[in-house]
Amino acid sequence: MKKSLIALAVLAASGAAMAQSSVTLSGNINLGVVKNSGSSAKLDAANGATQIKFAGTEDLGGGLKATFALAQRLSPESGGNDGTLNQRPTFQGESTVGLAGNFGAVKLGRQLTALQGPVNATDPWGTWTVGSTANLASGYSTDPRQADGAGAGRTDAITYASPSFAGFSVAASLGLKNSAGSVTSTSVVNTADAGSTTDPVITTTTAGSTQAKNLGSIWLTYANGPVMIGGGFEQNRRDDEVGAILGTYDFGIVKLGAGYSQVDTVAIAGEKRKNWNLMASAPFGQFTVKAGYNNSKAEGTELKTTKYGIGGEYALSKRTYLYTTFGRSKTDGATAVKGFDIGMNHAF
């Protein structure tokens, strides 16, 4: 009898402990047929469009929770890590641990910075598909020390996100410099390629005695009903700077948005890139029509790149939809590049 009571007590205690903790498995799978100028059609998907994520919380009492997240990005056409040819790291999407409560949330580890998380909110495809018009921080690497674009937006940092106060919230990231020697300069070619299902072309050069910097990133948001306005600033470990402001308004029959950014990269002396974009998304029952336009101009060379994208999505359920997009990009003095895709997206 005593053994039974002890066993029941152990089970009860175990159940209570389990009730205070949770682990979830979620993710997204995106794959389609893609055809870009100068290449044959193939099965492909935008880097980052497919990932598996493990996330969990533990109730510590008093409204305080411990959190973790591990997100593995992959390329479904090959089964390899996201950007198979780029040899992306394990848990490229995120690998963080932190605390959350009434004060907001703090996360430590590899993650999108405060600015890089929301900066593409005015791209109707969220950087996915060949129609993507996400050029606001185009070519900007949060951590240029990571080879082949692996630091584009994600880096090791400490990030704080506040709760919302009357629609206002703030997020800030700090990334310690980790080194004080020479760093690698990373620049991008073809920043608005219509066939943007793969990473932009990356070139690297050694920046001599340039000292590594602490990374700083901040983003302010006002979101209330149909209105969203956000803006922020970031300085990376190489001393590059990017500032951005954007906004959207949902009229119900159509959602409109616009954004602007300026990127100053020390790898290209005296050059700043000014970028702006427009978006529209209109639902018609299960079908949604999307369109976007962007314009990017580099000071110094005065080269301008323009791109437009148009496409549609058909919802089969709340978690599954079919999509198709078309994109065309043109840089001054170069031949226009076109891309077309048709595919399927499933979230779980």
What tens digit of pLDDT does each residue of 217-276 get? 999 999 999 999 999 999 988 888 999 999 999 999 999 999 999 988 876 655 688 999
Is 11 contained in some domain?
no
Is 72 contained in some domain?
no
User: Which domain covers residue 204, as residue numbers?
Assistant: 35-42+113-347
Is 53 contained in some domain?
no
pTM of the model: 0.82
Least confident of 35-39, 52-56, 314-318, 325-329: 35-39
Is 265 contained in some domain?
yes
Number of domains in the chain: 1
Is 189 contained in some domain?
yes
Is 6 contained in some domain?
no
HEC readout, the chain: CHHHHHHHHHHHHHHHHHHCEEEEEEEEEEEEEEEECCCCCEEECCCCCCEEEEEEEEEEECCEEEEEEEEEEEECCCCEECCHHHCCCCCCCEEEEEEEECCEEEEEEEEECCCCCCCCCCCCCCCCCCCCCCCCCCCCCCCCCCHHHCCCCEEEEEEEECCCECCEEEEEEEECCCCCCCCEEEEEECCCCCCCCCCCEEEEEECCCCCCCCEEEEEEEEEECCEEEEEEEEECCCCCEEEEEEEEEECCCCEEEEEEEEEECCCCCCCEEEEEEEEEEEEECCEEEEEEEEEEEECCCCCEEEEEEEEEEEECCCCEEEEEEEEEEEECCCCCEEEEEEEEEEEC
What tens digit of pLDDT does each residue of 115-172 get? 999 999 999 998 889 999 887 776 677 776 665 556 666 788 999 999 999 999 999 9
What CATH number has the domain bearing residue 164? 2.40.160.10
Is 8 contained in some domain?
no
